Amino acid sequence: MKQGVFITGTDTDCGKTVVSVALIRALRKQGITAAGFKPVAAGARWHDGELRNDDSMALIEACGFDLPYQQVNPYCFEQPIAPHLAARETDQPINMETIRRAFTAVNAAADIVVVEGAGGWRVPLGANWDMQSLAQSLGLPVVLVVGLRLGCLNHAQLSEQVILDSGVELLGWIGSHVDPNMERLNENIASLEACLQTPCLGVIPNPRSNQEISPARPLNLGLLINAK
């Protein structure tokens, strides 16, 4: 079984890495070899002469086996800015074929690859392509991460609609409780379930919050495992 899922989000810092790591760990508990893949990352530090992104490192750690960093994260930029700007400033244009080769190598080592996008669905990667183009090229089903904070109802609906309009398969959405002090948390989750067209596949709680997600919504791996 060689397959994967593309994780996108309503915005930057909406919890994509938290969700991706949680999915990888949950899949491993089911006896499934899962690997993470971060095609493009902007915001990195030097480690032994190599730029490394914290989110990409978290994906590598979660999978539980060694993968070369350059395979997991083929494009890594130091400055935490829009990827197309980072690529322009460093004279490293982002190339789809380079990403495809790295993805193929990671895919060969795992049953399922959890691909984490950068920013939101329409983040530019170059003059004529963006994160949507990348997801379409990889041909993977998509999961939308909704950062649970003020404004998420609008951001989630807009993101879901443009993803559906792009023609890719949208499996559903996962809530990530990024704002520990969010007012009316459970009412907002219920509103998301009512207004979004695709199903809720789980909600990741925030360990720094005293608020309880009620009812609990554990990760639903069924659609992901069975997606073609």
Phi first, then psi: what are they for 19, rounded to 5°? -65, -45
Question: For 80, what's the count of Cα atoms within 13 Å in the CB-facing half-sphere?
Answer: 8
- Selected catalytic residue, list 2, 29, 38, 228: 38
Helices 54-63 + 16-29 axis angle, to 10: 10
Which residue in 189, 75, 208, 90 sits closest to 134, CA to CA?
75
What number of residues does the chain have?
A: 228
Residue 202 phi/psi, 5° resolution? 140, 165
Q: Does 38 participate in catalysis according to the annotation?
A: yes
CB 168: neighbour CB atoms within 10 A? 19
Amino acid at 52: R
Determine how many CB atoms are found less than 10 A away from the CB of residue 85. 13
Find, among 153, 155, 122, 150, the residue nearest to 136 by Cα: 122
Please give the helix or strand (H or E) that residue 223 lies within, else none. Answer: helix 222-226
Q: Tokens at residue 211, please?
A: 């608020």
The first and second tokens of residue 219, run together, are 């990760």
Q: Which residues are known catalytic residues?
A: 38
